[in-house]
Amino acid sequence: MIERTFVMLKPDAIQRGLIGAIISRLEARGFKPVAMKLMRIPRELAERHYAEHKGKSFFPGLIDYITSGPVLCMVWEGENIITVLRTMMGKTNPQDAAPGTIRGDFAQQTGRNLIHGSDSPESAKREIALFFNDYELQDYKKTIDPWLYE
Ligand code: DAT
Ligand code: MG
């Protein structure tokens, strides 16, 4: 099923100059960009985005990190993309992430793990709505689509 997912390149990805390296993997896989914006997340929005982790010991540090500099917020579309992107990202702790994954190739610690991707269709819907308006989400066809999907 064609799905959409919310993806965020965290401040460490921007600072380390990894935007292109990460996005090129999504493009090469055949996924389609639907929305992108570079922004500094207000604290209140960061807390809503990570609401499921409120009360945990790492929550304040997580909010400090994610609001510490610009992030690249995106929506990507593709077949089963929510699960496939999570696989491409690798485990939350980069030390457990397999080589070949984004975290497994580029990151070292959980608190600097470069990328966020929605973990379920419900999260994707909620997170996309949190960061984007309808007019920022592009609906378009690519002529290559029949070479990706039979
Ligand atoms: P993921 O980002 O893989 O979906 P998550 O939703 O469980 O992981 O956690 C969100 C972010 O919070 C994660 O990317 C990094 C941080 N985090 C999670 N567990 C942590 C921990 N035990 N210590 C420090 N930071 C943690
Ligand atoms: Mg998560």
* DSSP secondary structure string for all residues of the chain: -EEEEEEEE-HHHHHTT-HHHHHHHHHHHT-EEEEEEEEPPPHHHHHHHTGGGTTSTTHHHHHHHHTSS-EEEEEEEEETHHHHHHHHH--SSGGGSPTTSHHHHH---GGG--EEE-SSHHHHHHHHHHH--GGGS-----TTHHHH--
Rounded Cα–Cα distance for residues 129 and 150 (Å): 30
Residue 62 CB–ligand 1 contact under 6 Å: yes
pTM (two decimals): 0.97
Pocket test for ligand 1, best of 48, 62, 64, 126 (most atoms within 8 A of CB): 62
CATH of the domain at 31: 3.30.70.141
111 inside domain: yes
Q: How long a stretch of residues is the chain?
A: 150
Residue 112 CB–ligand 1 contact under 6 Å: no
143 inside domain: no
87 inside domain: yes
* Structural domain total, the chain: 1
- Both tokens of 32, joined, read 């389609």
96 inside domain: yes
pLDDT digits (tens, 9 = 90+) for 75-103: 999 999 999 999 999 999 999 999 999 99
pLDDT digits (tens, 9 = 90+) for 44-63: 999 999 999 999 999 999 99
Ligand 1 atom 21: the closest Cα is on which residue?
Answer: 58
149 inside domain: no
The pLDDT assigned to 22 comes to 99
pLDDT grade for 116, boundaries at 50, 70 and 90: very high
Average pLDDT, stretch 1-6?
98
Q: Which residues are catalytic?
A: 116
Pocket test for ligand 1, best of 110, 118, 122, 127 (most atoms within 8 A of CB): 110
Write out the residue range of the structural domain in which residue 112 sits.
Answer: 2-137
108 inside domain: yes
Average pLDDT, stretch 123-127?
98
